[in-house]
């Protein structure tokens, strides 16, 4: 069966009107305070190829589901928060762009085997398809900055861009490390809570050593605490 152009236009208009009507219905439910709303605007703020844990009893609009499909975002329904630790263990959020994907997967296996005391939260990406590193740096840093993750690890090609992006998030002290000495320094002197790595600069064995060292090193406090407090003071000047 063939359709005339005007028939196709009418059909498209019908579908759009129906979807927009449902979207408005969901928004009305939100404004009445009944249920949380997951809309297309929220989905477009998430990194592509990532996972979003949908709050209990939330309404997901049709446009949000379509946006999630287009951006390859997995909607996990029946979870408590976006994304968060599944247990009472301290959470380590980990994320990477396409250049850091393989190293991220290797580090996840290492952490699962060597550090069962932590809950690893994977913020994506989930393939080697090209993506933008700031999206995943933000996803990890936001979890750390809001206290939903204890530490964060981000991997891209050089580790520099992700470090810059993460440090824009309040509550984050991100450090790019390329050997065990810098890993120790970033923790002992700077109390870094986010580690960034350059997959194109270091191999998986060195990366694992850096992560192990970084997680095991405590903050030195004393004179270092005074200096780190001054870093936080700089952030507060621009948060008013």
Q: List, by residue number, the catalytic residues.
A: 189
Structure tokens at 84: 């968060």
In 10 A of CB 108, how many CB atoms?
16
122 within 8 A of 153, measured Cβ to Cβ: no
Distance CA 237, CA 224 (A): 20
Helix, strand, or coil (residue 40):
helix
Tell me the C-alpha distance between 169 and 190, whole Å: 17
For the chain, what's the residue count?
Answer: 240
Best CA proximity match to 94, nearest among 206, 3, 214, 229: 214
Cα distances (Å, whole numbers) of residue 76 to 45, 80, 119, 150, 151: 16, 10, 17, 22, 23
Give the span between the Cα atoms of 190 and 219, in whole angstroms. 7
The label of the residue with tokens 């019908």 reads: 14
């Amino acid at each position: 069966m063939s359709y005339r152009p005007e028939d196709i236009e009418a059909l498209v208009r019908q579908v759009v009107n129906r979807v927009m009507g449902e979207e408005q219905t969901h928004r009305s439910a939100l404004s009445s305070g009944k249920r949380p709303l997951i809309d297309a605007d929220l989905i477009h703020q998430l990194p592509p190829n990532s996972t979003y844990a949908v709050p209990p009893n939330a309404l997901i609009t049709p446009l949000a589901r379509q946006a999630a499909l287009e951006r390859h975002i997995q909607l996990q329904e029946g979870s408590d928060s976006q994304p968060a630790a599944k247990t009472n263990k301290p959470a380590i959020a980990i994320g990477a762009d396409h250049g850091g994907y393989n190293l991220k997967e290797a580090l996840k296996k290492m952490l699962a085997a060597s550090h069962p005391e932590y809950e690893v939260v994977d913020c994506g990406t989930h393939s080697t398809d090209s993506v933008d590193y700031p999206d995943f740096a933000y996803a990890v840093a936001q979890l750390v900055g809001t206290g939903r993750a204890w530490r964060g690890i981000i991997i891209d090609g050089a580790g520099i861009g992700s470090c810059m992006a993460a440090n824009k998030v309040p509550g984050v002290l991100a450090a790019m490390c390329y050997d065990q000495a810098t890993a120790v320094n970033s923790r002992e002197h700077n109390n870094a809570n986010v580690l960034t790595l350059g997959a194109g600069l270091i191999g998986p064995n060195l990366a694992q050593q850096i992560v192990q060292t970084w997680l095991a090193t405590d903050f030195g406090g004393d004179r270092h605490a005074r200096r780190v407090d001054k870093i936080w003071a700089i952030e507060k000047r621009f948060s008013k």
